[in-house]
C-alpha cells in the first residue's frame, strides 16, 4: 500500500514555514511514500520563488504544484525550468515556461504521475481545455501500468468543474483534488472505480482571515466602491494545515482510503 499526502495552497511566509516544520514529522509518523504541496500563494500571497521551492524540497516535499499565480513573483520564472518537480498549470498555452506534469519516484521505486491542470470557469488566464489536455497526456501513461499512481491537482474556482474532471478520470486516475478556493470542502469520497475526490483541499494558512488575507484589507472590497490600495497581505496568525491523505493499492493504483487533513487551531481537526 502506498501512502500519499497532499497539502493545499500555502498562503504566505508563516504557512510555508509551518509546512516545512510539519512535513518531516508526518513523513515519519504516517510512513508517507510521497508528499505533494500546492505553493502558488507561498510568497506574499501570490507566486513562488526558488527559496520557497528549495525549503519545501528540503523538508521532504516531492512535488510542488501551483495555479493562476504561478508566475506572480518577478524574476522567478526561471525556477520553473530549474526544478523538475515544480509544476505550472498543464494547459497554459504551449510557449509558457515550465511544465504541467512530472513523474516522481518513491523510495520504494513506485512511480507517481502528478498532473496540474487549471480550470476554465471563472479564471482569467487564456488556457487550453483542461479535459483535453489531461486526456492527451494520459495517452502516454496507464494507471497500474507504467505508473503506479496518478495524482491530479485541479486548480479551479468552480466545484462543478473539479467534480466533472473526477468523473471524467475515474478509473484512469488515483485522485482528483481541487485547489484555489482556500476553503476545505466536506465532500471527500472515492468514486466507484477508485478515484479519490475532494472539491478543494483547503489552504495552509491563518483561518482567522478572509481566504488567508488580512481581514481588514479584504473587507474593503465589500464595503467600498473605491479601493486605493488593492494589495492583499497574507494574515500571519497561527496556521492551520489542510489537505488530503490517501492510501493507494499497489497493483491497481486506485485509492482504497481517503481522509481530509485539518491540523491547527482554527478548524475541527481531522487526521488519518
pLDDT tens string, the chain, 272 residues long: the values are 999 999 999 999 999 999 999 999 999 999 999 999 999 999 998 999 999 999 999 999 999 999 999 998 988 999 999 999 999 999 999 999 999 999 999 999 999 999 999 999 888 888 999 999 999 999 999 999 999 999 999 999 999 999 999 999 999 999 999 999 999 999 999 999 999 999 999 999 999 978 877 877 777 878 887 766 667 788 888 999 999 999 999 999 999 999 999 999 999 999 99
Nearest-angstrom CA–CA distance, 138 and 89: 16
Residue 82 belongs to domain with CATH number: 3.60.21.10
Domain annotation covers residue 133:
yes
| Dihedral over Cα of 89, 90, 92, 94: its sign | positive
C-alpha cell at 114: 502528478
Please, what's the largest Cα pairwise distance for the chain? 57
Residue 97 lies in a domain: yes
3-class secondary-structure state, position 57: helix
Note whether residue 269 is domain-resident.
no
Selection from 261, 267, 88, 252 nearest residue 174 by Cα: 252
| Residues 106-127: b if buried by 16+ CB within 10 A, e if exposed | beeebebbbbbbbbbeebeeeb
The reported pTM is 0.95
- Asked if residue 234 is part of any domain, the answer here is yes
Q: Which helix (H) or strand (E) holds 25?
A: helix 12-29
What residues contact 94, with CB distance under 8 A and at least 6 apart? Answer: none
Q: How many domains does the chain have?
A: 1
| Integer Cα distance of 163 and 124 in angstroms | 20
Q: How many helices (H) and strands (E) does the chain have?
A: 7, 11
91 and 130 Cβ atoms separated by less than 8 Å:
yes
So which residues are the catalytic ones?
69
Q: Which domain holds residue 105?
A: 2-263
Amino acid at each position: 500500500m502506498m501512502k500519499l499526502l497532499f497539502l493545499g495552497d500555502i498562503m504566505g511566509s508563516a504557512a510555508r514555514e509551518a509546512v516545512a516544520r510539519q512535513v518531516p514529522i508526518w513523513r515519519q509518523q504516517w510512513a508517507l511514500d510521497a508528499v505533494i504541496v500546492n505553493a502558488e500563494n507561498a510568497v506574499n500571497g501570490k507566486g513562488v520563488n526558488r527559496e520557497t521551492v528549495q525549503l519545501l524540497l528540503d523538508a521532504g516535499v516531492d512535488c510542488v504544484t501551483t495555479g493562476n499565480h504561478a508566475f506572480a513573483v518577478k524574476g522567478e520564472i526561471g525556477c520553473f525550468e530549474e526544478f523538475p518537480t515544480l509544476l505550472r498549470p498543464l494547459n497554459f498555452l504551449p510557449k509558457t515556461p515550465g511544465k504541467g506534469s512530472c513523474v516522481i519516484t518513491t523510495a520504494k521505486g513506485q512511480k507517481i504521475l502528478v498532473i496540474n491542470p487549471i480550470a476554465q470557469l471563472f479564471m482569467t488566464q487564456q488556457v487550453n481545455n483542461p479535459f483535453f489536455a489531461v486526456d492527451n497526456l494520459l495517452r502516454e501513461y496507464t494507471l497500474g501500468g507504467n505508473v503506479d499512481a496518478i495524482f491530479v491537482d485541479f486548480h479551479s474556482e468552480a466545484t462543478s468543474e473539479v467534480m466533472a474532471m473526477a468523473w471524467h478520470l475515474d478509473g484512469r486516475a488515483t485522485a482528483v483534488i481541487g485547489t484555489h478556493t482556500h476553503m476545505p470542502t466536506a465532500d471527500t469520497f472515492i468514486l466507484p472505480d477508485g478515484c479519490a475526490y475532494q472539491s478543494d483541499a483547503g489552504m495552509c494558512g491563518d483561518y482567522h482571515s478572509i481566504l488567508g488575507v488580512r481581514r481588514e484589507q479584504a473587507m474593503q472590497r465589500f464595503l467600498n466602491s473605491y479601493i486605493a490600495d488593492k494589495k492583499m497581505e497574507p494574515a500571519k496568525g497561527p496556521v492551520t494545515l489542510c489537505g488530503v491523505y490517501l492510501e493507494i493499492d499497489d497493483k491497481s493504483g486506485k485509492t482504497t482510503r481517503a481522509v481530509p487533513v485539518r491540523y491547527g487551531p482554527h478548524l475541527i481537526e481531522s487526521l488519518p
